[in-house]
Structure 1
């Protein structure tokens, strides 16, 4: 068990806590301001809490397992499995935003702009803080920390596009700007999640052996 992995473990734990608190705030405000955008953002944050939570659990399992005598497998596989599952969640999450956005085109909602923007900004700040927490050098990267990092960045991206979309919608009174922003984010997230699935899937299927340079225990 390297100290890098345990550093990753405590970082992911903090991010889970931060994200979970923000998610609750966004959902509560989403309900009170009747802002669909915020509510959606809060629910999406929920999927990230689950995914990043999964990354954290994976580190805990690796730590426990590497102490156990019975486990003879490659503990890095656990991290890749967690990264893979996380990538799958990201993909589903992006597709859900797309479907939501398409429905919004047909029935636009009235949004309480100012409060929605304010809370979206808080969300963005939390995501940026989390991204700094999870930032890691490529040398020490594994699919697990990368998955958690991607979730946070994806979240920051949707918060940012929600803010820009909401501001544009408010200034020019074009509600569908918000929708267009969400659609663009979705496509970016789809691209990232597929990349993550490909990379972590290769490890799970033992396709890339030369990549396992993390075995200096």
Structure 2
């Protein structure tokens, strides 16, 4: 596994996500769009989680170069994936909570700006997904976690766009909220899957494929 290559790619995604997060939160506050703010805060969780994935690669690289470390460096990746899954789960719950609260007290939304920034968010996520996509996804829980965060984010951006468009066209503001609820349900399902798989590797119940130390030739 070419740790350094993934380390670089992951860092790029972290920086991309961070920039988008700042923009979305700023616009979310100024346009009072729940969807945008949710997406921005959500991006924050991904900055954290993907940052964690990046750190895991740094640690694996150090571990592989170190004489003292004789554990399975693959376990580091599963641990990072597991922690990342927990962050994902937590944020899905936060979005649910926010959506329900907004459902109870609706607010006016500046639709055009909100949709524009959500589209930017979506594009960034698609670019990130391409950056992170690689062959070892199933055996490497770390990159899978980062990938899921990006896809989850694309999903919230997409649901924000669709929700805002529907709300704008048919003047039904709570579609925004329903979209947020559906997104969080899907994200909860993903994060539980990730926790199950990476947790099994950590407990040694299922062997991970990343403990063969030969570099993979493509």
Superposition pairs of residues 1-217 of structure 1, within 5 angstroms? 2-3=1-2, 5-138=3-136, 141-209=139-207, 211-212=208-209, 214-217=211-214
Structure 1 residues without counterparts, runs of 5 or longer: none
How far apart in 2 are the matches of 1:22 and 1:11?
Answer: 17
How far apart in 2 are the matches of 1:62 and 1:118?
Answer: 39
Q: Secondary structure at the match of 2:182?
A: helix
Cα displacement (A) at 1:104? 1.5
CA RMSD of aligned residues (A): 1.3
Cα displacement (A) at 1:30? 1.5
How far apart in 1 are the matches of 2:162 and 2:77?
Answer: 35
Q: Secondary structure at the match of 2:108?
A: coil
Contact 2:31 2:113 in 1 (8 A): yes
Q: TM-score, normalised by structure 2?
A: 0.94
Contact 2:118 2:160 in 1 (8 A): yes
How far apart in 1 are the matches of 2:137 and 2:165?
Answer: 39
How many correspondences in the alignment?
Answer: 214
Contact 2:140 2:210 in 1 (8 A): no
1:17-70 alpha-carbon deviations (Å, 9 max, x no partner): 000000011111112223232122111100100000000000001101111111
